[in-house]
Structure 1
C-alpha cells in the first residue's frame, strides 16, 4: 500500500465520535451507527438515499419524492427559478403557484439537477501528476491537465457529468459521476409570506413557523421522468431523540484550516465580504423603492444578499468569540506538539499556510470583473473564445469539455434581463473600481472612457446586444473569430479586463495550489501524530449527516424540538402590525381545517451548513420526515467547528407539507403522489 493509500485508509476509518460529520456516501461511519444507534445502513438503503438526492445548480439540495419525477426542495432554493418565471403581471415568488395538470407545469429557463450515481477514487492518478520539485505554476498546470483528462475520459465513456472533487485539502481526489436533468418544471410553490414567515428577523432563529418548500418535476423526452430511487413519505411525528439522517450538498467548510487561515477569515476576508454585502443590500433596497415593478425585479437578489449578510455575520461572530479561536488553538497546538516530536520538518506546512494568508490579504480587494448579469455573460463568452483555442487539458476548469453543457445551460438561458437593474448594478461596480484603485489608475481611466460611472454604465448596458439570446447563440457558434472582432461595448469591456483577470487568476490559482500541497502535508503529519479528522471538508457534493431530534436551552429557556401548525396563528397575532408576520389569505381561510397537533417545523443535531437547504431528512426506514431549510444562529460556526450544545438544523415537517397541500392549497391530487 503506497503513502497516499495509507493516509486515506486512516482518514476514512470510522470510530465512535459525536454526531459530527458530513460523511462521504462511499465511506459512512458504520461502526459508529452500529455501536451508538444499533443501526445498519445496508447497500440498498444507501443506494436509494444517494440516488434519491439531487443537487440544484441554483445552490441547494433536493430529493426525488415520487416515481414520476417530483422533486422536493426549498422555496428559497427555487426562488431564482420563480423569479425568472415571473412577470410584471404574475409574481410567482409573492403569489405562489400550483399546476393542476402536467400541461400547466412551467419549464425553468436554466435549472439543472444532478443525481449522483457513482463515486470513483482517482487519488493516485492525480497525485502522480504533481511532483514536489514542480513550481506552483507548473503544479497548477499538471494538476489541471490530469483532472481534465480524467473528466473527459469519464464523460466520453459514460455520457455522465463527471467532476473530480478535491478532498482533505488535496490528500484525496474522487470522481463524481452524475445524471443530469435539464428539463425541470415548476409544480407548486407557496406564497413568500408563509415560505419566509418572520422575514429577516426570524432568519437563522428558532422557534420557526415556515412552509419553506417547493415542488418541481423533472422530465425526459418531454414526459415526466421515471424515477427508480425516490423517498417514501412519512407523515408520522417522530419522537424526540429519534435518529434521523440528512442527505444533501453542504457548500464549503473550513474545518481543516489552520489557526492562521481562520484569523485571515476573521480579520480580513469576512469583514470585507460583509462590507460588500451591506453596500449591495442598500443598493437593491433603493432600487426597489422606485416602484412596485422595480421592487419585484430586485426581490430575489435582495433576499439572497440579506440571507448572505446574516449568514456571514453569524460566521464572523463565531470566529470573534474567543472560545472558538481558543479551541482551534488548543487543537492545533496538540497536533503540532506531536508532529514536532515525530516529524519536525513537517511543521513547516503550518508556516507555509501562515505565509500564504499574508499574500491573500494583499490581493483581497483587487477586482477583475463586475457583478452584473450582462457583464458575466460577456466575460464568459470572451473567456470561452480564448480557452477554446487551447487543448482541453490546458483550459480553465469551468471551461473544459466536461463542463460545457452546464456552461451553455446558463449562457443560453431564456431568463429575462432587466436593463434598468443592470445599469444600477454596473454603475455601482464601476464606482467601486474607481474607489479601490483611484480615479487616475490607468485601468480605471480606460474603463470609464472619460465618463462618469453612471453614464458609462448606461452606455454599456443599453449599447450591448449580449442580453439578446440569438446574439449569444451566434457568439457561441462562431467563437473567437466573432468575439475578437466584435465592437459590442460589453464584449469590449470584458476584453479590456482580461489582462487583470488573468493576472489575478494566476496568483489565486498558485496560492490555492500551494495551500493544497501544504494541507496534504498537514493531513499526513496529523496521521503520523495520530490526530486528524475522519471526514473531509464540505465541497458542495453529496454527504450524509447524522443527528437526533432534540431541543436545546437558550438564555435559561428550554426551546422545544417542535412547533405546531396551529401555533402560527398565535405567533402572527403576537406580531400584529409587522408585515413579515402577516399570514397569506390562503392560510387565514383554512385555519379551521388544519388538524391540531400537526408538527410544523422541528430541529435536530445533524451537522449542516449552507448548501444543505432543500436536503431531505429521513428516518431509519429511509422515509422522508422533513425538509431542511435553515440552521439556527448558533449553527453558523459550523463552517469552522461543530458543536451540538445549541447548534441545530431546522426543517419543515413532511406532515405539514402534506396538510398544506390538502387543506390549504386544494391540491390533494399532488399530495397523493408524494412517496409513490
Structure 2
C-alpha cells in the first residue's frame, strides 16, 4: 500500500501549500496539529474520542495484528477483523489437502471450533509519552554514531523498564524524525488469538498478483479472529480455560456506505516510509536495490510456482511463502516505475538546493547544517560500494534456500559448545528453541523445491554480486565442482542433515559441534554469513555518516519550514491518517470513479485462470440479487472504494472509519499510479484501496451462512 502524485515541485515541498492531511500522524498530537482540519472535512468526534489515556477511545479498538498488520475489535466479545492476506499464514498453517481452507474458506460456527495460532499476538496501545528530553539530555555532540546509538539503547531500556515495572505491560521507545524526537509506547499484548473465519481465496484473494496494487479492485480482503484472555482478564497463552476478551472499546459497524467527498480516517500500524530520503537514496533504489530485489524474487517465484502447480500439497506448503515474496516483488517494480515517471529524484534535488541556499543565507543555520547535503552524498558513495552484495545476500542467500537460514540458527549453539566450559542451560535453551520450531519448518518444507531455489540463488549471487565481495565457498565450488552449481547442490543436499527432521532432532538431543561444522550446508552458511558481516563492517562508516546527516537534514528542514506541520516517517507505531473518498485521473483520458461493485467481479471472471475464478454460490447470489440489507440504494452490491488517505505496508487490515468513528471498510492496498508514495506523497494520484464493510458482511452472512458473527457486532443502519 503506497501512494504518490505529480505536483509542482514548489507545491510539494513548500510547507504553506501542503495540506495537513498528508501524513501518518501521531495520535497524541492530533488535537494540536490536525483536529480543526479534520473537523472541516467532516469529523464529528472530539480528539479525546480518538486518543485518551483516561477513558475508552478509538485507539482501544485498534490492534497491531501479529508482526506486520493491523486489526480492529468489532464486538464486545473480542472479535477481530483484519485482511485475508494478514491472516493468510494462519489459514495456510491450518490447511491440509483434506481440509483446504485456502481454497474452500473456513468458518467457526461455534466458539469451540475457533482455531488457536501459536505465536500470533494482538497488541493494544495503552499510552504514548514524549521522552525526547530524557534521551537527548543524555547524549553529547562529541559522541560517535556508535556511541550515540549505544547510549540511546541504554537510556531507552531504562525508561522502558521503569514504565512497566510492577505490571504485565510491555514497552518500547521509538525514534522519530530520524532521531530528533523519542516517544515511549506502552502496550498490553494478548497471546491467544484464534481463527474465526476466512472466505475462500477466490474471494479473499480475488485478482491475486494481477490485481495486486491496482485499481479498480474487486477483492474481499478480510479474515476474522478472536482475542482470548485468562479468566482474570489478563493476557495468557492458549488454554481451554481462557475466555473471549472484553474490550475497552469496539467499533460500531456502519451500513450507511460512502459517497464522494465523505470524510474518512484510518488508524493503524504503518511499517516504514522514507519521506525524508535524499535524492542519493532514490538514485540507489532505482539503479541498485530495486532491480536486484525484483530479479531475485522473480526467479524464486517462478521456481515455487512450477512445483506448486504440480502438487496440492506443495501448493499449500508454499502458499504463504509465495504470497509474501510476490507482494514486494510487484511493489518494487511499481516503485521504480513511479520514481522515474513522477520525477521524484529531480524533485528531491530541488528541495536539497533550497535547503543548501537556506543554510548559506542564514548564519545560525550555517553553523548547524553546513555541508549536510554533501555529507549525504558522501555517505551513499560509501554504502553503494557494498549495497548490491548486501541485497543479494539478504534476498538470495538469507531468504534463498531455506536450509541456509535453518543452519544459521545453529551458529550460537556451535559457539557455546566450543567454549572451554559450555553453559548447559544456554545449550538447552538454544536446542529447545530450534527443536520446538522443527515441526512447523518441515510441515511447509519440500526438499526438491528448496534444492531448485538453493541452486538458482547460489548461481545468481555468483553471476551478479561483485567478485571481490564474494565468499570463499565459491573457490570450493570452482575447484572441486568446476563451477557446476547443479553438481554442488546435489552434493550438499545428499550429505546434509538439515533436510532431515529426524536426524536434526537426534543431533539436538546430543549436540556436537564437530558434526555441525562439517555439514556442507553449515560450511556454506558460515562462508556467506562471515563474508556478509565483513562487508557490513566496511559499510558502517557510510551508515554512520548517513544517520548523522539524515538527522541534521530533517532537523534543518523543519526549521526551514516552520509553518509546515510535518509527520514523522512510519515506524510500526500507531498512526492516524485522514482524508476523503475521492476518484482520480490516472492518466490522459483515464479516469477512475471511487467505488466498484459485484458487477465487476462477474466481468473479470475467468474459469481458466486461478486468479479470477468466481465461486458458484457467489454467482448464484449475484444472479438472484440476494444482497439483503447490504446493497446500495441503486440495488448494486458495493465491493471496494478509494480515499486519499496516507497508508503503507503495516496498515493492512486497518479500520476505515467515517466522521463518527464507525467502521465503513478495511484498508488493504495502494494504487499502481502512486507506488513511489512511501518516499513522496502524491495527493492527486495516491489512493488507499479499501474493501467496503457491506461487502464483507454480505460474504459473512449470505455466502458463508455465518450470520451469528454479524449478530455479534453493533450495526448502525
TM over 0.5: yes
- Matches of 1:383 and 1:172, distance apart in 2: 35
Q: Which residue is equivalent to 1:271?
A: 291
2:530 is equivalent to residue 525 of structure 1: no
Number of matched pairs: 644
Match of 1:188 in 2: 197
Alignment counterpart, residue 665 of structure 1, candidates 704, 707, 714: 704
Which whole-Å deviations, capped at 9, do the CAs of 1:88-113 have from their partners, x for residues lacking one?
32222222111111221111233223
- The answer to whether the 8 Å contact 1:105/1:186 transfers is yes
The aligned residue for residue 597 of structure 1 is 636
**What aligned pairs does 1:374-389 form with structure 2 within 5 A after superposition?**
374-380=403-409, 382-383=411-412
Is contact 1:188-1:214 (8 Å) kept? Answer: yes
CA 327–388 in structure 1, closer or farther in 2 if over 3 Å, else same: farther
Partner of 2:453: 425
- 1:503 and 1:423 map into 2 onto residues whose CA distance is 27
1:556 aligns with 2:565: no
1:471 deviates by: 6.7
Please say if residues 339 and 528 of structure 1, whose CA atoms lie closer than 8 Å, have aligned partners that are also in contact.
no
Per-residue CA deviation, residues 437-488 of structure 1 (Å, 9 max, x unaligned), is 669952434689946655655666674369859978996x99xx97798558
Question: How far is the alpha carbon of 1:577 from its aligned partner?
Answer: 4.9
Q: What residue in structure 2 maps to residue 219 of structure 1? A: 228
Partner of 2:235: none
Q: Secondary structure at the match of 1:366?
A: helix
Structure 1 residues 151 and 381 mapped into 2: Cα distance closer, same or farther (>3 Å)?
farther
- The 8 Å contact of residues 70 and 652 in structure 2, kept in 1 or not, is answered as yes
**Is 1:43 aligned to 2:66, yes or no?**
no
* Higher alpha-carbon deviation: 456-465 or 30-39: 456-465
Aligned to 1:60: 69
**Pairing 1:526-541 to 2, within 5 Å after superposition:** 526-530=557-561, 534-541=566-573
Asked if 2 retains the 8 angstrom alpha-carbon contact of 1:116 and 1:179, the reply is: yes
1:499 to 530, 537, 549: 530
After the TM superposition, which residues 155-554 of structure 1 pair with which residues of structure 2 at under 5 Å, given as runs? Answer: 156-221=165-230, 222=239, 223=242, 224-321=244-341, 323-342=343-362, 343-345=365-367, 346-367=369-390, 369-371=397-399, 372-380=401-409, 382-383=411-412, 414=440, 416-420=443-447, 421-435=449-463, 436=465, 442-445=472-475, 450=480, 453-454=485-486, 463-464=496-497, 486=516, 489=519, 494-507=525-538, 511-530=542-561, 534-554=566-586
Cα distance in 2 between the residues matched to 1:374 and 1:432: 17
The Cα shift of 1:71 comes to 1.0
Q: 2:78 touches 2:227 (CA, 8 Å); kept in 1?
A: yes
Question: 1:32 is matched with which residue?
Answer: 37
Does the 8 A contact of 1:155 with 1:162 survive in 2? Answer: yes
Indicate how the Cα distance of structure 1 residues 379 and 174 shifts in structure 2: closer, same or farther if over 3 A, else same: farther
- Shift of residue 14, structure 1, vs aligned partner: 11
1:124 matched to 2:133? The reply is: yes
Q: Deviation per CA, 1:395-438, whole angstroms, max 9, x where unpaired?
A: xxxxxxxxx9xx99995884623142333333333334443366
| Residue from 584, 591, 603 that aligns with 2:615 | 584
In the TM superposition, what is the alpha-carbon distance from 1:282 to its structure 2 partner? 1.9
* Post-superposition offset of 1:361: 1.4
Residues 408 and 142 of structure 1: is their aligned pair in 2 closer, same or farther, counting only changes over 3 Å? farther
Answer yes or no: is the 8 Å Cα contact 1:58–1:78 preserved in 2: no
- Asked if structure 2 preserves the Cα contact closer than 8 Å seen for 1:139 and 1:513, the reply is no
- Answer whether contact 2:126 2:187 (CA < 8 A) is retained: yes
Gaps of 5+ in 2: 1-14, 231-238, 420-429, 629-634
Q: From 617, 620, 628, give the equivalent of 2:667.
A: 628
- Quote the offset at 1:133 in angstroms: 2.4
Cα contact 1:250–1:609 (8 A) shared by 2:
yes
Return the alpha-carbon distance in structure 1 between the equivalents of residues 612 and 307 of structure 2. Answer: 24
Deviation at 1:137, TM superposition (A): 3.8
Assess, with a 3 A threshold, how the Cα gap between structure 1 residues 44 and 528 changes in structure 2: closer, same or farther: closer
RMSD of aligned C-alpha atoms?
3.5
On the 8 A contact 1:106/1:186 being kept in 2, the answer is yes
Is 1:661–1:671's contact at 8 Å kept on the other side of the alignment?
A: yes
TM-score (norm 2): 0.81
SS across alignment from 1:75: coil
Specify whether residues 657 and 38 from structure 1 end up closer, same or farther in structure 2 by C-alpha distance, changes over 3 A only.
closer
- Structure 1 CA distance for aligned equivalents of residues 518 and 188 of structure 2: 37
Are 2:438 and 2:501, in contact at CA under 8 Å, matched by a contact in 1? Answer: no
SS at match of 1:626: strand
Instruction: Check whether the contact 1:565–1:594 (CA below 8 A) recurs between aligned residues.
Output: no
CA contact (8 A) 1:14 1:32 kept: no
Measure the CA separation in 1 of the matches of 2:343 and 2:589: 20
SS of equivalent residue, structure 2 residue 384: helix
Cα distance in 2 between the residues matched to 1:255 and 1:273: 21
Matched residues in 1 for 2:383 and 2:274: separation? 16
- Asked if structure 2 preserves the Cα contact closer than 8 Å seen for 1:183 and 1:219, the reply is yes
Partner in structure 2 of residue 652 of structure 1: 691
Structure 1 contact 195–212 (Cα < 8 Å) conserved: yes
The answer to whether 1:100 aligns with 2:100 is: no
Deviation track 1:28-71 (CA, whole Å, cap 9, x = no partner) reads: 22233245546553313324222211223352211111121211
- Post-superposition Cα deviations, 1:270-315, rounded to whole Å, max 9, x if no partner, equal 1222222222222222232443322332332222222212211111
The answer to whether the 8 Å contact 1:370/1:429 transfers is no
CA contact (8 A) 1:190 1:213 kept: yes
